[in-house]
Amino acid sequence: MIEASTISAFLGGLGAGSVVTALLQHFLARRAQLEDVLRKDRSEVYSGLLQALESLEVTNSIENAKRFGMWAARAEVIGSDDVIDAIAKMRVTPPNSTERSAALALLLKRMRSDLNPS
Read out DSSP for 22-86?
A: HHHHHHHHHHHHHHHHHHHHHHHHHHHHHHHHHHHHHS--HHHHHHHHHHHHHHHHHS-HHHHHH
Q: What is the pLDDT, as a whole number, of residue 112?
A: 95
pLDDT in tens, 77-86: 999 999 999 9
Burial annotation 42-53 (CB, 10 A radius, 16+ → b, else e): beebbebbbebb
pLDDT in tens, 80-103: 999 999 999 999 999 889 999 999
Cβ-proximal residues to 67 (8 Å cutoff; 6+ apart), any chain:
52, 55, 56
Q: What does pLDDT average to over the chain?
A: 87
Mean pLDDT along residues 52-65: 92
**Cβ atoms 89, 72 nearer than 8 A:** no
Write down the pTM of the prediction: 0.74
Q: What is the pLDDT, as a whole number, of residue 24?
A: 79
Q: What is the pLDDT, as a whole number, of residue 45?
A: 96
1 has pLDDT over 60: no
Question: Which is nearest to 77 in space by CA: 42, 26, 32?
Answer: 42
> Which of residues 86 and 60 earns the better pLDDT score?
86
110 has pLDDT over 60: yes
**Where along the chain do its domains lie?**
4-115
Question: Which is nearest to 50 in space by CA: 81, 82, 80, 87?
Answer: 87
